[in-house]
Amino acid sequence: MADDKLIEAKAVSKAFAGVSALTEVDFQLRAGEVHALMGENGAGKSTLSKIFAGVLLADAGAVYLEGRQVRFLNTKEAAAQGVTIVSQEFSLIPDFPVAENIFLVDEAYYKKGFISNKNAMVRETYSLLKLFDMETYIDPYEHVRQLSVAQMQIVEILKAISKKARVIILDEPTAALSANEIRLLFDLVRRLKAENVGFIIVSHKINEIYEVSDRITVLRDGRLVLGGVKTTELAQTDLIKAMVGREVNNIYGVKAQTAQKFHDKKVIFEAVNICDRRGYVNNICFQVHEGEIVGISGLVGAGRTELVRCLFGADKCSKGEVIVNSKPIKANTIRKSMKNGMGFVPEDRKFDGLFQELSVSFNIAITDLIIHTFMFVNRKSQDRKCMQKAEELGIRLNNPETPVKSLSGGNQQKVLLAKWLLLEPRVLIVDEPTRGVDVGAKAEIYAILRQLAARGVAIIIVSSEIPEILGLCNQILVMREGRITGRLDAAQAQEELIGYYATIG
Ligand SMILES: Nc1ncnc2c1ncn2[C@@H]1O[C@H](COP(=O)(O)OP(=O)(O)OP(=O)(O)O)[C@@H](O)[C@H]1O
Ligand SMILES: [Mg+2]
């Protein structure tokens, strides 16, 4: 079956401002297969995906679609020939409803730029949602702005599917999805696969890749390291070695110590009866001791992000109090929280984490600016601090003036962490800290969080990855429908127990 190649790259190269992102990469996708594209942050996975989908043009080499050379100038051209991408960066319009986002400018529903048949469009959206078992989860009329990250991701995928794509590129489709949503997505992938659709999937979640992919290609520093090896014939350890160029053992390290160890330490952080204004968070109480790491687990939608946003003052509480170092922070605002030694790494780097157009240096320094209200900054010392933090976190950066948007997704996540570390917080709240981060960097982030804790910082982690919670946290709070349904000590915590409290307990 040598001639069933759906899309193919031959010796494709691409550089940005003279820096090479891809060097003579070959890649082949067959009809009806799921082909995983793997590699560290910055390896070139998104760049290759974008070249296939018409977002970027290759500098050299060629792309073939069913044996015919193509050169897509934009995503519209690619989509017209059946190639679509669901990318790391969302392309939805926040103020439009779901249905209009999916069928934007679709000729069946638009005449001269206006919607001609809204009812049919909503009906079609509904049947798409139903196909995905999502009809109770997403409302076709709802504005995208109101959706969770997970829901937005699903709308993006439905949009690609609605275009009858033959090649669907999923660039980290599951980073923001819960286990159940991932299962639904993979079911759909398998169904479309049987209809000969080909998928290129990028993900840092190795278990998933083993579950869903047929073959694996690995890039490192923009070069091909492994080309289209059968998933069943590649051991996980060899895959990781190919990606990072060295062995990574035991990324979660040892199992976290029991919370009892911290009981006679000082209470650094306390949440008392926290409620939010929208009813997603109900009477939450817990304490974090000096040097303790507390994990918040639960399903997507359980209220975890809403809770930590309240704790930090990013959203208003309707009731309750946050106490840091025995001092109540009344009517908390972000600025007050920061002044009292709290740091917060939000879940969504695009919307509230980073200024995409501005430099890495500025983004790292901004927290400092907010706190100290400096009108003038010493650019040199700002750049120096930035490079130092970047190096500590393994962000490969040639120049601190690089705009954030030109960094790979995982490296953006590290910039977000870096800017908070610079403040040396007493309490650090991190929401999904390793989303989109490669295995090597994950291990680095865990090490950083452990070091901070060892220095006495109280750490609160929201994470959907249970191994991450089990490996790092001394105390685990499980949330469901805005309440804490389970409190587990590291000594007794197990995946099944967390699952129990997250769904029924
Ligand atoms: N628009 C751009 N301008 C400048 N450099 C860029 C741009 N887009 C990507 N790069 C650089 O190209 C390299 C490859 O980036 P790419 O986004 O393809 O990585 P990736 O493998 O998708 O990583 P991640 O896992 O973090 O998403 C990186 O060094 C990145 O900084
Ligand atoms: Mg990427």
Closest C-alpha among 24, 436, 467 to residue 221:
24
Residue nearest to atom 9 of ligand 1 (CA): 406
In which residue are the tokens 């610079």 written? Answer: 422
Residue 57 confidence (pLDDT): 96
User: 314-347 burial by CB neighbour count: b if 16+ within 10 A, else e?
Assistant: bbebeebebbbbeeebeebebebbbebbbbbbbb
Q: Give every strand in the sheet of 19-30, ordered side by side.
A: 19-30, 5-16, 60-65, 68-70
Which CATH number among 3.90.1170.50, 3.40.50.300, 1.10.10.10, 3.90.1150.10 corresponds to the domain 5-244? 3.40.50.300
Note whether 5-244 and 259-341+425-503 share their fold: yes
Bigger pLDDT: 385 vs 505: 385
Q: What is the pLDDT of residues 12-41, one digit of tens each?
A: 999 998 889 999 999 999 999 999 999 988
Mean pLDDT over residues 255-282, rounded?
91
End-to-end CA distance of the chain: 51
Ligand 1, residues 23, 408, 445: which to mutate, most atoms within 8 A of Cβ? Answer: 408
Q: Which two tokens stand for residue 268?
A: 């650094």
Strands in 83-86's sheet, in edge-to-edge order, are: 83-86, 167-171, 198-202, 34-38, 215-220, 223-230
For ligand 1, the distance from its centroid to the CA atom of residue 208, given in whole angstroms, is: 23
Say what the pLDDT of residue 483 is. 94
Q: Is the pLDDT of residue 394 over 80?
A: no
Question: Under a CB-based contact definition with an 8 Å cutoff, are residues 222 and 21 in contact?
Answer: yes
Does residue 375 have a pLDDT over 60?
Answer: no
Per 3-state DSSP, the chain is made up of helix, strand and coil in percentages (nearest 5) of 35, 25, 35
- In this prediction, residue 223 carries a pLDDT of 96
Token pair for 32 = 């009806």
Q: Give tens-digit pLDDT for 242-253.
A: 998 876 666 666
**Which residue carries 């679509």 as its tokens?**
84
Q: What is the pLDDT of residue 268?
A: 97
- Tell me: pLDDT of 132 over 50: yes
Q: Is 409 in the pocket of ligand 1 (CB under 6 A)?
A: yes
Is-contact 258 490, C-beta < 8 A?
A: yes
Assigned token pair, 159: 């949009």
Pairwise CA distance, residues 313 & 317, whole Å: 8
pLDDT, tens digit, 9 for 90 and up, residues 173-192: 777 777 777 887 888 889 88
Three-state DSSP class for residue 315: coil
Could you tell which of 23, 406, 438 is best to mutate to test the pocket of ligand 1, judged by most ligand atoms within 8 Å of the CB? 406
Give the closest residue to 189 by CA, choosing from 66, 38, 32: 32
Give the pLDDT band of residue 350 (cuts 50, 70, 90).
Answer: low
Residue 188's nearest CA partner among 212, 218, 216 is 212
All residues with CB under 5 Å from ion ligand 2: 46, 409
What band does 172 get if pLDDT is binned at 50, 70 and 90?
confident
Q: Is the pLDDT of residue 379 over 80?
A: no
Residue 25's nearest CA partner among 167, 227, 209, 169 is: 227
Cβ-contact 354, 417 below 8 angstroms: no
Cα–ligand 2 centroid distance for 122 (angstroms): 32
User: How many Cβ atoms from other residues are within 10 Å of residue 443's Cβ?
Assistant: 19
Specify the residue with its C-alpha closest to ligand 1, atom 19. Answer: 42
pLDDT category at 161 given cuts 50, 70, 90 is confident
259-341+425-503 belongs to which CATH class?
Answer: alpha beta
90 three-state secondary structure: coil
DSSP 256: P
Kindly tell me if the per-residue pLDDT of 362 is higher than 70. Answer: yes
* Ligand 1 atom at minimum distance from 396 CA: 29
Is 440 touching ligand 1 by the criterion CB < 6 Å? Answer: no
Based on the number of CB atoms within 10 Å of its own CB, is 153 exposed (0-12), middle (13-18) or buried (19 or more)? Answer: buried
Looking at residue 106, what is its pLDDT?
75
Question: From the CB of residue 91, how many other CB atoms can be counted at a distance below 10 Å?
Answer: 14
Mean pLDDT rounded to a whole number for the chain: 87
32: left (phi over 0), alpha (psi -120 to 50) or beta: left
pLDDT in tens, 317-338: 899 999 999 999 876 788 889 8
Which alpha helices (DSSP H) does 168-303 contain, by range?
Answer: 179-194, 206-212, 236-244
Taking CA atoms only, the protein residue closest to ligand 1 atom 7 is 406
- Alpha-carbon gap, residue 34 to 7, rounded angstroms: 12
pLDDT at 301 over 50: yes
User: For ligand 1, is residue 412 a contact (CB within 6 Å)?
Assistant: no
Q: Specify the residue with its C-alpha closest to ligand 1, atom 2.
A: 406
Q: Give residue 289's pLDDT band: very low, low, confident or very high (50, 70, 90).
A: very high
Every domain of the chain and the residues it spans: 5-244, 259-341+425-503, 358-424
Task: Give the pLDDT band of residue 309 (cuts 50, 70, 90).
Answer: very high
Specify the residue for token string 């949503």.
181
**% pLDDT > 90, the chain:** 45
The finding on whether 21 has its CB within 6 A of some atom of ligand 1 is yes
Q: How far is the CA of 41 from the centre of ligand 2 (A)?
A: 7
**What's the confidence (pLDDT) of residue 391?**
81
| Secondary structure letter of residue 362 according to DSSP | H
pLDDT at position 2 is: 47
From the CA of 42, give the closest atom in ligand 1: 19
Say how many C-beta atoms besides its own lie within 10 A of residue 493's C-beta.
Answer: 26
Q: Which atom of ligand 1 is nearest to the CA of 222?
A: 14
Nearest residue to 86 (alpha-carbon basis) of 47, 139, 49: 49
What's residue 348's pLDDT?
Answer: 72
Cβ-count burial of 20 within 10 angstroms (0-12 exposed, 13-18 middle, 19+ buried)?
A: middle
Q: Please state, in angstroms and rounded to a whole number, the distance separating the CA atoms of residues 366 and 472.
A: 29
Backbone angles phi, psi at 479, to 5 degrees: -110, 145
Structural contact between residues 240 and 40, judged by C-beta atoms closer than 8 angstroms: no
The residue-averaged pLDDT of 352-359 equals: 79
Question: 82: closest CA among 7, 167, 184?
Answer: 167
As beta bridge partners, residue 68 has 65
Q: Three-state DSSP class for 301?
A: coil
Tens digits of residue pLDDT in 443-469 = 888 888 998 999 999 999 999 888 889
Ligand nearest the Cα atom of residue 87: 2
Please report the pLDDT score of residue 3 as a whole number.
56
| Short-list 234, 190, 189, 194, CA closest to 38 | 234
pLDDT digits (tens, 9 = 90+) for 62-80: 999 999 999 999 998 999 9
Cβ of 43 below 6 Å from ligand 1: yes
Question: Residue 424 — pLDDT band, cuts 50, 70, 90?
Answer: confident
**Ligand 1 geometric centre to CA of 16 (Å):** 9
Q: Which residue has the higher pLDDT, 270 or 408?
A: 270
- Residue 461 contacts residue 293 (beta carbons within 8 Å): yes
Residue 46 CB less than 6 A away from ligand 1: yes
Give 278 Cα–ligand 2 centroid separation in angstroms.
34
